[in-house]
């Protein structure tokens, strides 16, 4: 495996890569932009998560958005529980040709939660940073699993609902840097 690492985070390795996979005696070559997620997920408040309740108070989204000129990484967590716990909320925009990088600490990532109130049909990402702003809308191309399984009950709200899923999203919108580039 070879490549240029653009951004190394605590849980992500992101960048250009060429990789060889040998499987059943055959070689397969892959080249392009890759995002590797090395995340660990732990449930805390374990005693309260038994008997069908949910564990950690967490609503999170992690994603990479890429095209030839720009790579965007977003990690956003929200604490929906009654506990006052601060969670990860960061994003970074990398311009590939100029090696410029713009961190965002103030941004909004949301969705319309259209299907059954939890599985979205649109995503929204907007924010400002020192040199510009970003505003994008994402449309899901595919979900995994196809239909996100919804379960009733969390440790802080027995009538609350929770689910988990992934989406492959096509994003469109505007990235303005120094009010001259987009």
Strand segments, DSSP code E, in the chain are 5-8, 12-23, 26-37, 59-67, 70-78, 89-95, 100-104, 107-111, 123-129, 132-144, 150-152, 161-163, 166-177
Does residue 21 carry a pLDDT above 80?
Answer: yes
Question: Could you tell me how many residues make up the chain?
Answer: 182
**What tens digit of pLDDT does each residue of 94-121 get?**
888 888 888 887 899 988 876 556 788 9
Distances (CA, A) of 129 to 16, 102, 125: 25, 7, 13
The whole-number average pLDDT for the span 36-49 is: 55
Report the C-alpha gap between 70 and 121 in whole angstroms: 24
Write down the pTM of the prediction: 0.73
The whole-number average pLDDT for the span 18-31 is: 92
Binned at pLDDT 50, 70 and 90, residue 134 comes out as very high
Give the per-residue pLDDT at 50: 52
Residue ranges in the chain assigned as alpha helix (H): 46-49
Cis check for the bond before 157: say yes or no (omega within 30 of 0): no
Are 115 and 121 in contact by the 8 Å Cβ rule? The answer is yes
155 by DSSP, 3-state: which?
A: coil
């Amino acid at each position: 495996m070879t490549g240029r690492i653009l951004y190394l985070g605590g849980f992500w390795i992101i960048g250009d890569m060429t990789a060889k996979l040998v499987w059943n005696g055959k070689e397969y070559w892959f080249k392009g932009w890759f995002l590797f997620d090395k995340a660990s997920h732990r449930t805390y408040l374990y005693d309260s998560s038994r008997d069908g309740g949910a564990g950690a108070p967490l609503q999170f989204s992690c994603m990479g958005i890429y095209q030839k000129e720009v790579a965007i990484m977003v990690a956003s967590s929200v604490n929906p529980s009654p506990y006052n716990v601060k969670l990860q909320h960061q994003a970074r925009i990398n311009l590939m040709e100029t090696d410029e990088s713009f961190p965002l600490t103030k941004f909004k990532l949301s969705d319309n939660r259209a299907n059954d109130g939890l599985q979205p049909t649109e995503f929204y990402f907007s924010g400002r940073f020192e040199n510009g702003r970003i505003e994008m809308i994402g449309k899901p191309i595919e979900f995994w699993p196809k239909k996100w399984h919804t379960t009733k009950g969390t440790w802080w709200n027995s009538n609350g609902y929770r689910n988990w899923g992934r989406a492959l999203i096509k994003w469109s919108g505007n990235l303005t840097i120094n009010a001259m580039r987009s």
